[in-house]
Amino acid sequence: MKKTIPSEQKTSEQTSVLLRALPSMAAVLDALCLPLRDDPDTTALCASLLADVPRPLLRDGINDFLDRCRASIRQGRIKNPAELSLAVLLPQTIRHTAKICAPHFRRVLNATGVVLHTNLGRSLLAEKAAEAVCEAARHYANLEFDLETGERGSRYSHVEELICRLTGADAALVVNNNAAAVLLMLDTLCRDREVVISRGELVEIGGGFRIPTVMEKSGCILREVGTTNRTHLEDYVSAICERTAALLKVHTSNYRIVGFTKAVPRRDIAALAREKGLPLLEDLGSGILADPGMPHLSDEPTVGKVLKDGVDVVTFSGDKVLGGPQAGIIAGKAEYIDRIKKNPLNRALRIDKLTLAALESTLRLHLDPELARRHIPTLHMLCMDEQQLQGKADALAAVLKASLPEGGENIGITVGRGDSRAGGGTFPESDLPTRLVCVTSADFTPNALQKALLHVDPPVLARVENDALCFDPRTLRNEEFSLVAAALRSVLA
């Protein structure tokens, strides 16, 4: 981090005087520890730096600031020793250091309107689920301990019954995520044998999840049938042979083929699988537990329906429409689930205790669909109607207007129509009508504002649409409006 001065660049007398006047690391650290300061903000920041930041990081932060001061002196931007007094420098040092030493993984405000934004962590947990995570984090728990018998228990016991009750499955287990669930299912049931799948379902979900690749990794042989747009039952029939291990259906989560298309109804494939004595497996992606009354998702089958239609094993994500933590759920017939539970690979893909705590709590809420809709943020956000969104957008616009900086007459703030998205590779066609708060400025382009908002604390992610910076209130809580306003104010100032 130290910058050396090229020897030929003769430091002038003035520069050396200034460099010597710059406070030392020791002096800055001493000053940080001094409790007496008349500026309460600086005092509070000092206290939190000293309490929360490991000393080596604190030193790095201060060093970085002092290096920048040295550079400014050499470039002639600092000319007066008075600018280098501790009284002047300390507040700047502290702010710079606090910024540099902040944890890397941090909260952001999602004003994009993408509810299941994979890059922003998909689902927010229900309050109860978040509490359960804290409880599990702070204390020992009966993770793999049966309190009835006093003997070793199973980590799935906490959620298996709930999943069965919510889906009608005989048995279930949970793993790290849905990608792991698919891998484990195929590795257990199909290794070294063929899996028949329609060409219309060989999807790539994003983030590197491609069905053909996962199949290859699990050691099974892909037997694709039909064409991209049309697959018939006959295609499945003629592909089945003595090497066949299973038939697989995959939810085409993030795209639709429209026009001259044909897919075989799940029930017909199930009947064929039964006739041939083969299991029918399905990667359902999102996995809706109960019809939550979302008109735009009404075509999506629930997990219960899929199992009822004759699928033997189904997998889905914990953090898509289920609205829980990252997890992969595998549910279905006991004979297959028992084999999957015994696969040694399971140990490498297992779910951790914090996730289990959040998952159990989320699944309990799902037992009452009304409760789920009210308390699970993902469902709540997906179900918001246009009237609620209009109210939220008006409220956000008012908060933004009230906090505009001086000279705010160059700034336009209006409420207009737009679309939110479910996101997370789920339900591509279901644009959700919303209201957007659109900001225009005579001094900044929308793209410049969008970028600047990433550098405030907490950062705000917004969209640019129709030459305006747009905030979608669907993915913001009302308590967050003032934070968005403060952020906008600081970038416009």
CB of 301 to ligand PLP, least distance (A): 13
- Exposed/middle/buried for 306, CB within 10 Å: 0-12, 13-18, 19+? buried
Mark residue 192 as left, alpha or beta (left: phi above 0; alpha: psi -120 to 50; beta: remaining).
left
Using CB under 6 A as the binding rule, whether residue 251 contacts ligand PLP is answered as: yes
CB of 196 to ligand PLP, least distance (A): 17
Q: Count the residues in the chain.
A: 493
The residues that bridge with 436 in the sheet, in sequence order, are: 416
Which region among 138-146, 231-239, 246-254, 293-301 touches ligand PLP (by CB under 6 A)? 246-254
CB of 317 to ligand PLP, least distance (A): 3
| Cα 462 to Cα 472: distance, rounded to the nearest angstrom | 8
Using CB under 6 A as the binding rule, whether residue 205 contacts ligand PLP is answered as: yes
Using CB under 6 A as the binding rule, whether residue 423 contacts ligand PLP is answered as: no
Contact criterion met (CB below 8 Å) for 180 and 347: no
Taking the least distance from each CB to ligand PLP, the nearer of 209 and 236 is: 209
Which region among 15-23, 171-179, 216-224, 443-451 touches ligand PLP (by CB under 6 A)? 171-179
Using CB under 6 A as the binding rule, whether residue 285 contacts ligand PLP is answered as: yes
Taking the least distance from each CB to ligand PLP, the nearer of 98 and 184 is: 184
Which region among 93-101, 259-267, 279-287, 476-484 touches ligand PLP (by CB under 6 A)? 279-287
Query: What letter would DSSP give residue 255?
Result: -
| Cα 368 to Cα 261: distance, rounded to the nearest angstrom | 37
Taking the least distance from each CB to ligand PLP, the nearer of 70 and 421 is: 421
Using CB under 6 A as the binding rule, whether residue 328 contacts ligand PLP is answered as: yes
Q: Which of 323, 418, 425, 473 binds ligand PLP (CB under 6 A)?
A: 425
In order of 72, 89, 237, 427, 437, the CA distances from 262 in angstroms are: 68, 71, 16, 19, 41
State how far Cα 391 lies from the chain centre: 26
Taking the least distance from each CB to ligand PLP, the nearer of 122 and 158 is: 122
Using CB under 6 A as the binding rule, whether residue 249 contacts ligand PLP is answered as: no
The residues that bridge with 431 in the sheet, in sequence order, are: 421
The residues that bridge with 209 in the sheet, in sequence order, are: 206
Taking the least distance from each CB to ligand PLP, the nearer of 121 and 416 is: 121
Residue 378 structure tokens: 């993902």
In order of 357, 427, 433, the CA distances from 291 in angstroms are: 24, 15, 19
Taking the least distance from each CB to ligand PLP, the nearer of 135 and 429 is: 429
Q: How many residues bind ligand PLP (CB under 6 A)?
A: 14
Interface positions with ligand PLP (CB under 6 A): 177-179, 205, 209, 250-251, 253, 283, 285-286, 317, 328, 425
